[in-house]
Structure 1
């Protein structure tokens, strides 16, 4: 469940730290006070889209975090453990800059917004104030029935099977439609691969040929210059070694040559003689092994010419020929068996189609079985909401066209008055009726949810009086076994809550800020009195609010 929510510089909130508890928590405040800010901040922590408008005016960034206790949420723990993240606690953090950029963390580790959404789906379930509008779309009906029946996994698997089947169908059509093109492509590839086979250019051969060509082409000049260098080093008549020998002989004969500057000079000349002797030996060795080979040079240049010619044909650099050879060879190998592939792919398509239909048939049977139970539970909730005479039904109809979610269309039907046949929900329900039907459906869906934290954002729109009190009782019953947070404008609903958060907008020095506080008993009485319509809180209004709160807290649920 959600245990902490921290908000910094978000919208008109400068700083807010909330410690939350289990049970039902009502969130109230005057119109425009910012009741939706808390849910908006929570939504960002759960991966909703962010923009620069989220940041409080004058601040550099908004910083939001939500901490969850996942002790009783095996799906969330498994998600964290699979990614080697700590699973005894769950901290979601989102930072949005004034430039509109955002970053996200899970337990201190950077993550993607997609990760936030995926994990968030295992942590919390939000029922928005426009949920009744979603009931005007039939895809919502199917989704709600599947969630009630615990069929979301089967629907996901069926979707994967459907996409696999359709992918095979597309490949088969492409293969059949392009058979002539494939034949032409095969012939071209055979010619190109055969030419490259004959060339047989090895990895690294091009560089070796270019180095050898350069050496052979300049061998005569290299040999002459090397021999000249040897003569300069070791020649009896004026070579460097001869001159060094003479210099050393004369220095050795000088008085005091064994010490001081003369000794150092003799040492350096001796080192130079050794270096020149070694250089002369290396040059002599190189010259002895350098040969003039015009035939080899012609062969190398011919080989290089062939390599460059074929590279020009393919409009690539010569060094890319080896990779091209491998690529074309693989493509040819894949096309050589295309006729066999066509037959095999046809069989694969049939197998995938049969697999889809078997899965879809089992899913359809499960939906039809669940439809009756779902309708009965919604019907029961409608009785609590003063619509006991209405008749709710779920119509599951098989379609001819396969879809990722199955072969069925699901429609919610309602008969608001006795004696009238049920008709599609979108055609017969008034605004108030639709709100109550939506709430009944959401309560049923929430009752069967595996998620312990449920958020209801003004789902009580369109109800009042005794019905509003019953709505509060329904939400409190949900809170008895988990955590329910509800934004409400009805005192009858707020009075039923285990806890009550009040949001207030304050203006200080031309700055508007929102504050939120957990109300004690006296604070709850004053807030309920305000919600009952008292601009000035009279003793009678306060007494009515106190009576409402006491009765709601004492009543069995």
Structure 2
């Protein structure tokens, strides 16, 4: 509840500090006395945009500070969401600097206006004509029904599941998009991969392959060279081996004449052995030579294929071709697996839809269950408020869509007079009727949920007599469960308050100032009498005022 309000240098207020109590508080004052200034200051606490023109003294800053007792509001989670330290005695302060810059603080922690607006909505509710229009919005109507249906926890579960569901749907969309793109690339990637698979680059040494090609393509030249070399070595007429062997035999005859001769003979022996080995190696090479054109063609094709692929893919060697092949395999496999992934994701979405439908069905049933009693209570209160023929028809239509608060579409249909037809509330109810309907709804809600402090801004405008008396009774009844303020011009309503505050203007130093004070019992008699008879207070007005207070 609002316990203290401090205003400094705002509009016509120099400095004001006033305390409030629980229960039903009345605020009165002559037209133009400054009640709108009070509401303007509180609106700043609620997060309204500041205006430099609202500063009374442009050389000093404007401060509006409100102290709230929120111990019974269970707002620890809300404070945590806004990253604020929770305090059961919370102070909200707005400052407007002479430069026009505005600052907001919650328990001395700076906050932005979005955070302030969110937090203050749980603490203070100014019921103005603008808010009355919210009654025609689906979101507000759902909030009312769901509060009565105790759907809070179900709606939280639904929102969590809906968020997961939307993520799954986005993931499916991404997969389907990837599949669409992949289909365009798949054939090309598969073609490239097949080329590499056919080339079989694994285990290939390009230098060895080139050497093999050179050998096969020059086999005749190799054979001629080997044959000629062998004939030089082995020819009976001019064979080098036979000549060297002849040298060896001749040197053998002198090898015993000295070490130097023996050494020469041994060296010649080594040459003979080497020559024999050389001939043997030439024989092996000759045996290994292939003159098969098919083999030459295979090696040529292989070499050309590998070189073409290296050039095509702008790589340096076979190892990079192998790496590219592996990358293409991953891409192709991914494309081939997308269909399976999409089926799996659709299965997840189907399970998610089942869970959402289960929760939405419970929400729907709870809503239907509370409508009859809500209609009866609402129509009963409106009868007391001078709308005896008011009737409501609240309809829910289940859709196939997962909406933000279930699968229902809602219609608040209203009929003000007998013989007329049910039409949408926003099309058939007047401003005065909407105000009374809103009062009736909030009085019902007060019995079900913990509402914030509420300030009714001249909700009784345009009514009088017994209706205004009933309005006062309803607001008085609401104040048993919450703090209620009513800004009113009607003495019947003003007399119902536990506390009575007056907003008034004074003139000092050729300037007008707005102030506010809490009235004593005697002050209240005078104030009510003025409201009854005007500036000239009569004895009958005094008597009537005392009667109203008693």
TM-score normalized by the length of structure 1: 0.66
1:370 aligned residue: 370
Q: Report the Cα distance in structure 2 between the residues aligned to 1:32 and 1:338, rounded to whole angstroms.
A: 72
Question: In structure 1, the residue corresponding to 2:168 is in which secondary structure?
Answer: helix
1:468 aligned residue: 468
Deviation for aligned residue 1:53: 3.7
Q: Report the Cα distance in structure 2 between the residues aligned to 1:153 and 1:52, rounded to whole angstroms.
A: 43
Deviation for aligned residue 1:69: 1.7
Q: Report the Cα distance in structure 2 between the residues aligned to 1:500 and 1:476, rounded to whole angstroms.
A: 13
2:354 aligned residue: 354
Closer/same/farther in 2, CA of residues 108 and 138 from structure 1, 3 Å limit: closer
Q: Report the Cα distance in structure 1 between the residues aligned to 2:448 and 2:462, rounded to whole angstroms.
A: 25
The one-character-per-residue Cα deviations of 1:358-400 (angstroms, maximum 9, x if unpaired) are 2222111111112122112212212321333433332222234
1:316 aligned residue: none
Question: In structure 2, the residue corresponding to 1:477 is in which secondary structure?
Answer: helix
Question: In structure 1, the residue corresponding to 2:75 is in which secondary structure?
Answer: helix
2:7 aligned residue: 7
Deviation for aligned residue 1:484: 0.8
Where in structure 2 are the equivalents of 1:84-483 lying within 5 Å?
85=85, 87-182=87-182, 340-418=340-418, 422-451=422-451, 453-483=453-483
Question: In structure 2, the residue corresponding to 1:65 is in which secondary structure?
Answer: strand
Where in structure 2 are the equivalents of 1:37-116 lying within 5 Å?
37-73=37-73, 75-80=74-79, 85=85, 87-116=87-116
Q: Report the Cα distance in structure 2 between the residues aligned to 1:5 and 1:417, rounded to whole angstroms.
A: 43
Closer/same/farther in 2, CA of residues 80 and 439 from structure 1, 3 Å limit: closer
Question: In structure 1, the residue corresponding to 2:50 is in which secondary structure?
Answer: coil
Closer/same/farther in 2, CA of residues 520 and 159 from structure 1, 3 Å limit: same
Structure 2 unaligned residues grouped into runs of 5+: 193-313, 315-326
Q: Report the Cα distance in structure 1 between the residues aligned to 2:148 and 2:96, rounded to whole angstroms.
A: 36
1:269 aligned residue: none
Question: In structure 2, the residue corresponding to 1:355 is in which secondary structure?
Answer: helix
Deviation for aligned residue 1:459: 1.9
Q: Report the Cα distance in structure 2 between the residues aligned to 1:19 and 1:538, rounded to whole angstroms.
A: 32
What's the Cα RMSD here?
3.3
Question: In structure 2, the residue corresponding to 1:513 is in which secondary structure?
Answer: strand
Q: Report the Cα distance in structure 1 between the residues aligned to 2:172 and 2:11, rounded to whole angstroms.
A: 54
The one-character-per-residue Cα deviations of 1:219-270 (angstroms, maximum 9, x if unpaired) are xxxxxxxxxxxxxxxxxxxxxxxxxxxxxxxxxxxxxxxxxxxxxxxxxxxx
Deviation for aligned residue 1:156: 4.3
Q: Report the Cα distance in structure 1 between the residues aligned to 2:78 and 2:177, rounded to whole angstroms.
A: 44
Deviates more, 1:494-503 or 1:461-470: 461-470
Question: In structure 1, the residue corresponding to 2:129 is in which secondary structure?
Answer: coil
Closer/same/farther in 2, CA of residues 99 and 394 from structure 1, 3 Å limit: farther
Question: In structure 2, the residue corresponding to 1:181 is in which secondary structure?
Answer: helix
Question: In structure 2, the residue corresponding to 1:117 is in which secondary structure?
Answer: helix
8 A contact 1:435–1:461 mirrored in 2: no
Q: Which protein is bigger by CA-based radius of gyration?
A: 2
Deviation for aligned residue 1:452: 5.3
Structure 1 unaligned residues grouped into runs of 5+: 192-312, 314-327, 551-557
8 A contact 1:385–1:436 mirrored in 2: yes
2:535 aligned residue: 535
Q: Report the Cα distance in structure 1 between the residues aligned to 2:10 and 2:433, rounded to whole angstroms.
A: 36
Closer/same/farther in 2, CA of residues 150 and 33 from structure 1, 3 Å limit: farther
Deviation for aligned residue 1:356: 2.2
Q: Report the Cα distance in structure 2 between the residues aligned to 1:161 and 1:393, rounded to whole angstroms.
A: 31
Question: In structure 2, the residue corresponding to 1:58 is in which secondary structure?
Answer: coil
The one-character-per-residue Cα deviations of 1:501-547 (angstroms, maximum 9, x if unpaired) are 11113343453321111111222222222322513223333332232
Deviation for aligned residue 1:340: 4.9
User: Structure 1 runs of 4+ off > 6 angstroms?
Assistant: 183-188, 331-337
Q: Report the Cα distance in structure 1 between the residues aligned to 2:162 and 2:98, rounded to whole angstroms.
A: 43
Deviation for aligned residue 1:472: 0.6
